[in-house]
Structure 1
Amino acid sequence: MSLRVVPGTPEAARPLLQASHALMQSLFPAEANHYLSLDALRAPGIHFFLAQSEPNAPVGCVALAHYPGYGEVKSMFVAETARGTGIGAALLDAVETRARDLGLPLLRLETGSKLHAAHRLYDRAGFRPCPPFGAYTDGPYNPFFEKHLA
């Protein structure tokens, strides 16, 4: 599969984001779902990326939310038919590259407790468990991870 990760828009990833939201809603209670709406993904300080296969069909997406002192990985999703092909790692690499370009010393993320494949991906990429950050609170459904970039 020919793959490229490029800056994109949430609109171009609408089917992926809808599939991601549906999956999260099927696995976790509403209070444990912290995904961003399409409007929120268009806000200033959000950097959005698409993984595209030939012929330019989006097969994955991710966002970097830029906060003072760190970046947060948001809306990471890979189409079920494209999982296991390295797309997740390529998306994380794009986010990390942008975070470094922005001078951010740290990447953080919140994910779902049942998303074991995602946990393995984050571990392989150098993310380690951390306490809740920002407005998040501790709970049984949402582990937190971080990666120091400095």
Structure 2
Amino acid sequence: MTTAVTIRVETPLQDDVPALLSLADAVAARLYPDAPRRPITPESLAVPGTHLLVARVATEAVGLCAVIERGDGMVELKRLIVAAQARGRGVGSALARGAEAQARGLGARVIVLEVGIRNEEAQALYRRAGFTPRGPFPPCRALPVSPFLERAVPA
């Protein structure tokens, strides 16, 4: 991959989004085979207050994440995923920066997220991006397999 990565807010109702969402579900199934899961669909992301960021190299979608408005100056970063062929190329970090920019544009003061305790790659990405531990945020509840993290949104 030699072309630059672009991050844009896009509609989830397009042909290349379902494959990336399925990849996120497959990662969860591999890491937590016995846990109940609710797959995220493009339709569930096509709602007011949810902003889908898509990472592209040229026209190919290679990653995505959702920024969900939670109120009181808070947004949630959800389902950050990078396709296998794009890993190790800064796409995850670019998506995290894009989420921060989106949060800033929405007037948010803090980004929160929940990450699986076995997803060491994601935890490392979030630590590098400046996220620190916190307690659960609504509508989530504390679970031993899901640490919660946060990061202030710089002005």
Paired residue for 1:134? Answer: 138
Q: What secondary structure, in the 3-state scheme, does the structure 2 residue paired with 1:30 have? A: coil
Determine the C-alpha separation between the residues in 2 that align with 1:128 and 1:35: 26
TM (norm. structure 2) is 0.88
Contact 1:36 1:74 in 2 (8 A): no
Determine the C-alpha separation between the residues in 2 that align with 1:7 and 1:137: 28
Q: How many residues align?
A: 148
Determine the C-alpha separation between the residues in 2 that align with 1:34 and 1:92: 23
Task: Point out where structure 1 has 5 or more consecutive residues left out of the alignment.
Answer: none
Contact 1:100 1:149 in 2 (8 A): yes
Determine the C-alpha separation between the residues in 2 that align with 1:42 and 1:111: 22
4+ runs of 1 displaced by more than 4 Å? none
Could you say what the CA RMSD is over the residues aligned between the two structures, in angstroms? Answer: 1.5
Q: Deviations over 1:52-93 (max 9, x none)?
A: 113x11000011001112000012100012111100011111
Distance 1:76 1:26, change over 3 A: same
Paired residue for 1:65? Answer: 68
Contact 2:31 2:119 in 1 (8 A): no
Contact 2:21 2:40 in 1 (8 A): no
Paired residue for 2:8? Answer: 6
Determine the C-alpha separation between the residues in 1 that align with 2:90 and 2:65: 14
TM (norm. structure 1) is 0.91
Task: Point out where structure 2 has 5 or more consecutive residues left out of the alignment.
Answer: none
Higher helix share: 1
Paired residue for 1:91? Answer: 95
Q: Give the CA deviation at 1:34.
A: 6.0
